[in-house]
Structure 1
Amino acid sequence: MNKEKRREILERLRANNPHPETELNFSSPFELLVAVTLSAQATDVSVNKATDKLFPVANTPQAIVELGVEGLKGYIKTIGLYNSKAENVFKACQILLDKHGGEVPEDRAALEALPGVGRKTANVVLNTAFGWPTIAVDTHIFRVSNRTKFAMGKDVDKVEEKLLKVVPKEFKVDVHHWLILHGRYTCVARKPRCGSCIIEDLCEFKEKTEI
């Protein structure tokens, strides 16, 4: 795909949603960190249902440490892999208290050193909480990037590398959200809704559908 076509795609996505936001509910960098950690292999809807009950009770590292692992499990047991996620969030909270004064660090290495936090989670926190031009590649972004041929790659790291290279600076902060939402609601996995897609004529996917 050439750069002119990529730019037109980005301009259309921006015009359609000028101020995209994550669908996870949060009101602080710490709440976002917890929500994104819990969202691995889970839907945003299921995470929001759990955190809507958890955060009014415990939305700081100190409060979650005081809640304890078992107490935390009680709030997130409806989310997949809740046992390991509770352990990771609890340990991460201890590290935030011990090493970062209870604050979420605006630093990739420090974020990735937290239990349960990989590159994708760190990218989301840096982008959404701190406004960094990072691009977290999840299954939706990986699919959309390859299917449309916007930024092709064999794995998420390669797609991220390509996106960072081909997305102009002015779009980098928001492109993560545009692509995720596009993959979640239009360019869906089994049968993409090509007929209702605002970039259908620019997309290079050959097997387009009528939907």
Structure 2
Amino acid sequence: MNKQKRLEILQRLRDANPNPTTELEFSTPFELLVAVTLSAQATDVGVNKATRKLFPVANTPEKIIELGLDGLKSYIKTIGLYNSKAENVMKACKMLVEKHNSQVPQSREALEALPGVGRKTANVVLNTAFGWPTIAVDTHIFRVSNRTKFAMGKNVDQVEQKLLKVVPKEFKVDVHHWLILHGRYTCVARKPRCGSCIIEDLCEFKEKTEI
């Protein structure tokens, strides 16, 4: 895909959604960190249902430690892999208290050192909580980037590096949200809704649908 097409795609996505953000509900960087950790292999809707009950009770590292492991599990048991996620969140909370004065660090290295936090989670937190121009590539972004030919790669790391290279600076902070929402609601996995897609004429996917 050429530079001009990419620019037009980004402009259309921006015009349609000038202030995109995550669908995870949060009010502090810590709440976002917990929500993103819980969202692995789970839906944002499912995570929000759990955190709407959890956060009013415990939304700081100290309060979650106070809840205890079983207490935390009782709030998140509706989420897949909740046992291991609860253990990771608890360990991360203890590390935040001991090493970071209970604050979420604004450093990739420090974030990725937290239990349950990989590159994708760190990217989401840096981007959404702190406004860094990072691009977290999940299954939606991987699919959209490859299907449209916007930024092709054989794995998420390759797609991330390609996106960082080809997305102009003015779009970098928001492109993660635009692509994720596009993949979640329009460029869906089984049968993309090409007929209702605002970038259909620019997309280079060969097997377009009518819907």
Partner of 2:20: 20
Question: Cα deviation per residue 1:95-152 (whole Å; 9 max; x = unaligned)?
Answer: 0000000000000000000000000000000000000000000000000000000000
Offset at 1:48?
0.1
Offset at 1:206?
0.1
- TM-score, scaled to structure 1: 1.00
SS of the residue 2:68 aligns to: helix
Alignment of structure 1 residues 123-138 onto 2, 5 Å: 123-138=123-138
Question: Cα deviation per residue 1:56-115 (whole Å; 9 max; x = unaligned)?
Answer: 000000000000111000000000000000000000000000000000000000000000
Partner of 1:107: 107
Offset at 1:7?
0.2
Distance in 1, matches of 2:60 and 2:34, equals 10
Partner of 2:50: 50
- TM-score, scaled to structure 2: 1.00
Partner of 2:32: 32
Gaps of at least 5 residues in structure 1 are: none
SS of the residue 2:46 aligns to: helix
Alignment of structure 1 residues 83-94 onto 2, 5 Å: 83-94=83-94
Distance in 1, matches of 2:67 and 2:142, equals 37
Alignment of structure 1 residues 133-144 onto 2, 5 Å: 133-144=133-144
Distance in 2, matches of 1:53 and 1:204, equals 44
Distance in 2, matches of 1:109 and 1:21, equals 24
Distance in 1, matches of 2:69 and 2:81, equals 14
Partner of 1:208: 208
Letter in 2 for 1:67: L
Distance in 2, matches of 1:183 and 1:139, equals 9
Gaps of at least 5 residues in structure 2 are: none
Partner of 2:76: 76
Q: How many residues align?
A: 211
Deviation beyond 2 Å, 4+ runs, structure 1: none
Letter in 1 for 2:47: V
Distance in 2, matches of 1:74 and 1:120, equals 26
Distance in 2, matches of 1:151 and 1:167, equals 9
The answer as to 2:150 corresponding to 1:162 is no
Offset at 1:43?
0.1
Letter in 1 for 2:93: C
Letter in 1 for 2:59: N
SS of the residue 1:106 aligns to: coil
Identity of aligned residues (%): 85
Distance in 1, matches of 2:189 and 2:132, equals 28
Structure 1 vs Structure 2 CA RMSD: 0.2
Distance in 2, matches of 1:162 and 1:46, equals 31
